[in-house]
Structure 1
Amino acid sequence: MSSSVVPVAVVGAAGRMGATTCAAVEEADGLELVARIDAGDDVGAAVRDSGALVAVDFTVPAVTEANVHAILDAGAHAVVGTTGWDEASRSRVVEHLDRLNAGREDGLGVLIAPNFGLSAVLAMTFAAKAARYFESAEVVELHHPNKVDAPSGTARHTAAAIAAARADAGLAPSPDATESGWEARGADVDGVRVHAVRLRGLVAHEEILFGNVGEQLTIRQDSFDRASFMPGVLLAVREVVGRPGLTVGLEHVLDLT
């Protein structure tokens, strides 16, 4: 293996996203797939024994944080596409990285991306820029029925960015006269309502709705095939080795912020 080739392990390799990632890594220039890691495997030992420099996690929310800590202890960088992260779990990863990277110039990095689709990242970025100009904002995410978490990490990330932009602009909460039936109004993410649809035949889709008196802006993103996420995954694998610490969101790698 050439010193210029990045050895990559995939955690969750038997899953649909994991299998697609394995194929993409095998076909990519400058990357080499050195380990396929599945449920029941010792993630840390498998990463360490394979010599992987970067490990990609596409598993499930229940195990993804433990996998990241194991990857870091094995001396590898982590790229994470599994959702289910919150402020507490991200903070624990930051603390772990701080301990490992203390006194190092070439510290380890973790990149957590709620979505690797370039169109999805652009949609989220456009939404954050538009949010300050509209009185109302809501998000609808639509996914296949095998998805285990709701709302999706993408929708949560989108809503949080919208809420932050609205707060920075000093906007009041979106108008809403609802007095009963709040369960039909979707999840509340920092004051932005998020609605989740689970329907056979879908892959991953998001609509971001903005409204003013007499006008509406809709930003819609559709992923029809998991192959659409692979350019973003490969970009993250190549970039994470030069980004010590925690990065959340592919928009930072794309220089969109």
Structure 2
Amino acid sequence: MSVFVVTDLAAGYQGHPVIDGLNLTVTEGEAVALAGRNGMGKTTALKAVMSLSVPRVSGGSVVFGHADLTRRKPYQVARAGIGYVPQGRRIFASLIVEEHLDVAARPAPTGYQAWTRDRVYALFPRLAERKQHKAGTLSGGEQQMLAIARALVTNPRLMLLDEPSEGLAPKIVRQVADIIKELPRAGVSVLIAEQDLAMVRRVADRVYFLDRGRVADEVTARELPDRGDLLDRYLGV
């Protein structure tokens, strides 16, 4: 049964549509990727789901569980159980790791195991080692781990991640991907916007290929290695 359903979603900037008629689902315990080149609408789609002030949503619906989140306030989307890791991490350079987690922490829904600081540190041992360090002194990979950890302590049931591989060395991309892959097993479904093929292959159970703001094709992870035509067409590899 689908826990997250986007239907005919349309959104854009200053009257210019970027996504138009976007349809996708994420089921419980699943990791789904939105793949495509830059400018195809991946980031816009995640921002529209989160009801950020831009882009402007002009049509369609976003439903999570039994809640219609279309055009709700961002804090209402977050309280409904959706976590968000924005492109570029957006950490606070002057705060230490532990302060990031304390500020973001929210209670877990009834019946769910809470993401506490200790549980996050078990998932990210490197953050535990650096918990008293200012975020601005962390490496790019450590900052990405912190951004994911900060979203986890809000205790979401669905996590949106926007280009988590951006600016990371291939070895760190693999480490971050392996952590993201664990989230569905820990009760957090994943929707990841990504153009890095290595990240997509390592994380996703299913892949939606976006082209000009719409889903142009969909494959399972098992089918992906045999669909070089899609990779050439939508990722340019």
TM-score w.r.t. length of structure 1: 0.26
Q: Would you tell me which structure has more helix in proportion to its own residues?
A: 1
TM-score w.r.t. length of structure 2: 0.28
Structure index of larger Rg: 1
Q: Which has the higher contact order (CA 8 A, sep 6+)?
A: 2
